[in-house]
Amino acid sequence: MTHLLRRGGFLALLPFGLLVLASAMPSAQPPVDLVVRHEKEALPLLKQYCLGCHAGVQPSGGVSLDPADVSGIHKNAENWRKGLVRLKDRSMPPQGSARLSQGQRDVLIADLTLVLDAAPVKAVPGHTVLRRLSRLEYNNTVRDLFGVALKPADVFPADGGGGGGFDNNADTLFLPPVLLERYLIAAQDVLDAAPTDRLFFVKPSAKLSARAAAKVIIERHASRAFRRPVLPEEIVRLMRLYDSKKVHEDGIKAALKAVLISPSFLFRVEEAPVNAGNTALTDYEIISRLSYFLWSSMPDDALFALARQKKLRQPGVLAAQVRRMLLDPKSRSFYDSFVSQWLHTRDLQTGVAAPDRGRFPEFTTELKEAIYQEPVLFFESLFRDNAPLTLLLSADYTFVNDKLAAHYGMEPVVGGNFKRVAVDTARRGGILTMAAPLTISSYPQRTSPVLRGKWVLSEVLGTPPPPPPPVTKTLPPSDKNEGGLTFKQRLEKHREEPACAGCHARIDPMGFGLENYDPIGRWREKISGDPVEASAKLLTGESYNGPAEFKVLVLKQQETFLKNLTEKTLAYALGRGLEPHDQPAVKKILATLKTDGYKSETLIREVVLSLPFQFKQ
């Protein structure tokens, strides 16, 4: 392997390295005045309103907040960060408990924010792991390696979703025995399907023997497949396979089949650091991380050239590559994979979300595909235009084809191709009002303010509610008026039960704002003959009536939304769930985003320049 760039030399030369080193140092001890103020103003309130339930041998919900002094908060920062979110959205203290006044709540929010910001978190990049290629990555890599159109990984065992909620997570990319057999079959299928001129790109001649030509072919394909320069001893072994065959082409294929079943191809291998502490990735490791982040595939010739020439870390080079790669057609893999897993709209493709065809016969395969593509195309346009990320919640345009335009009741669009169109922002605009998330957060026969509220809290804001109690009553599948009660009234009655009231008071108001959309995302004015009730009061005390006012209230939480989006993007890029030591990187990315007007490209660039992405431990 090429040698690692050790931290000492690299950081001594580059301003970025110095910045990373500074951000990796533990924070200083909290100032004395912070401790004094916390003990005087906040600690009595915490003891009065919080520790009565969240302390002792069996704390409420299994969440202990004891001790509540500054050092205790720092040691238990994860629980306290969750508690701060609950304070902000007013779900804590729960209904039925002694309530904080607005002034007391403001004191606690301000104090805990400062105390948690002062927590001594050491920024480290996380450990290097051996990560096999996901099915998507395998298909894209053999496509770019040999120019084949087939997708052999489609018959591989399904990849599971791990930390961060993505299927590129190293912890869940297992290697079941059946997959080894599939790799052997796939390797042969790929080589049989590869164009001859792509496979045997050097021909023997009077000046070049067959064996010499084979060595050039094998060395280039192996280096690209391994995403690094191939080692001399690896070439020796591969040439032995070539020599074992009598026919020139058969020998090359035998060597390349060994390449395609090598761990260096099947796994994204990063050399383990020799020294303790943070170690900079090699240039080849950087381009591999970058290409699998934005293309779900191997690096191209331009990235290989930058790594070979050691130009990757020159000022502005990585930023320019990010821009180039986001505009490349191969970036569609990122837009599709990230959006469909982040928003869970992939459930449309897998059949997890399946509207009742008897009640909704218009939900055809063509319409389902159009509904699935809308958020992907919208997300892609955002990055291609380098538009603000806040448009994800407040855009005045979307992308529709003829099927989706008719579904939405818009002006007709000719043909199956998607077109950017302006929308009536009172009804549409942004991911909250797209048919894909509205459909996957509904039941087969009716909408569910609970499912939709949970989706907004969990996927949009990153503040998921706790799971329901083991024994929970469910409402019937129909949304028809029963016993003289509308569906909303029946849900409100359900919320009166003590075991349900606390969570539903937080969840339901985040779902009622989307009740104007039926289970497949169409606009409606009535539910089973009754007028739609799309109004509610949030725990913050703010009220809304209809989706337009609801979107305004969600947009007011844009900092929470952007933090969640940043954490999701970083987790996807790293292929692992985030840990507390990643929070300094998240905060730095968010600060730069704010300075740059929340431009979408800034998010990707800053993730790529972050310590967790650039370094290993």
pLDDT tens, residue by residue, 562-583: 999 999 999 999 999 998 889 9
Whole-number pLDDT of residue 82: 83
pLDDT tens, residue by residue, 282-298: 999 999 999 999 999 99
List, as one string, the DSSP characters of 241-287.
HHHT-SSHHHHHHHHHHHHHTSHHHHEE--PPPSSSS-EEPPHHHHH
Predicted confidence band of residue 609 (pLDDT cuts 50, 70, 90): very high
Look at residue 493 and tell me whether its pLDDT is greater than 70.
Answer: no
Of 201, 558, 214, 606, residue with least CA distance to 388: 558
How high is the mean pLDDT of the chain?
88
Predicted confidence band of residue 217 (pLDDT cuts 50, 70, 90): very high
Please answer whether residues 598 and 265 qualify as being in contact, where contact means their C-beta atoms are separated by less than 8 angstroms. no
Look at residue 12 and tell me whether its pLDDT is greater than 50.
Answer: no
Longest Cα pair distance anywhere in the chain, in angstroms? 93
Whole-number pLDDT of residue 16: 37
What is the C-alpha separation between 34 and 40, in angstroms, rounded? 10
Look at residue 504 and tell me whether its pLDDT is greater than 70.
Answer: yes
Q: Which of 22-36, 163-177, 254-268 has the highest mean pLDDT?
A: 254-268
pLDDT tens, residue by residue, 295-336: 999 999 999 999 999 999 999 999 999 999 999 999 999 999
Q: Is 419 exposed, middle or buried (0-12, 13-18, 19+ CB in 10 A)?
A: middle
Look at residue 20 and tell me whether its pLDDT is greater than 80.
Answer: no
- Of 66-70, 97-101, 433-437, which range is least confident? 97-101
Look at residue 70 and tell me whether its pLDDT is greater than 70.
Answer: yes
Rounded to the nearest 5 percent, the helix, strand and coil shares of the chain are 55, 5, 40
Tally of CB atoms within 10 A around 358: 8
State mean pLDDT over 134-151: 97
Whole-number pLDDT of residue 472: 57
User: Which helix or strand (DSSP H or E) is residue 124 part of?
Assistant: none
Look at residue 164 and tell me whether its pLDDT is greater than 80.
Answer: no
Look at residue 551 and tell me whether its pLDDT is greater than 90.
Answer: yes
Look at residue 4 and tell me whether its pLDDT is greater than 70.
Answer: no
pLDDT tens, residue by residue, 408-440: 999 999 988 999 999 999 999 999 999 999 999
pLDDT tens, residue by residue, 452-475: 999 999 999 998 887 776 655 565
Whole-number pLDDT of residue 540: 84
Nearby residues of 316 by Cβ (< 8 Å), 6 or more positions away: none
State mean pLDDT over 521-528: 94
Per domain, the residue ranges of the chain are 32-117, 131-268, 338-555
Whole-number pLDDT of residue 539: 83
Angle subtended at Cα 31 by Cα 26 and Cα 37, rounded to the nearest 5 degrees: 135
Q: Is 72 exposed, middle or buried (0-12, 13-18, 19+ CB in 10 A)?
A: middle
pLDDT tens, residue by residue, 336-355: 999 999 999 999 999 889 99
* Tokens standing for residue 118: 């002062």
Nearby residues of 38 by Cβ (< 8 Å), 6 or more positions away: 69, 70, 111, 115
* Tokens standing for residue 591: 């600060």
State mean pLDDT over 53-80: 86
Whole-number pLDDT of residue 1: 38
Whole-number pLDDT of residue 520: 98
The torsion defined by the Cα of 482, 487, 490 and 495, in degrees rounded to 10, comes to: 160
Distances (CA, A) of 101 to 41, 82, 98, 211, 522: 14, 20, 10, 83, 41
Q: What percent of the chain has pLDDT over 70?
A: 89
Look at residue 497 and tell me whether its pLDDT is greater than 80.
Answer: no
Whole-number pLDDT of residue 109: 86
User: Which helix or strand (DSSP H or E) is residue 126 part of?
Assistant: none
State mean pLDDT over 135-151: 97
* Tokens standing for residue 226: 């391994």
Global confidence as pTM: 0.85
Whole-number pLDDT of residue 118: 80
State mean pLDDT over 91-116: 83
The one-letter amino acid at 607: V
State mean pLDDT over 385-410: 97
Please answer whether residues 222 and 209 qualify as being in contact, where contact means their C-beta atoms are separated by less than 8 angstroms. no
State mean pLDDT over 82-94: 81
What is the C-alpha separation between 87 and 91, in angstroms, rounded? 6
Q: Is 69 exposed, middle or buried (0-12, 13-18, 19+ CB in 10 A)?
A: middle
Please answer whether residues 425 and 433 qualify as being in contact, where contact means their C-beta atoms are separated by less than 8 angstroms. no
Whole-number pLDDT of residue 348: 96
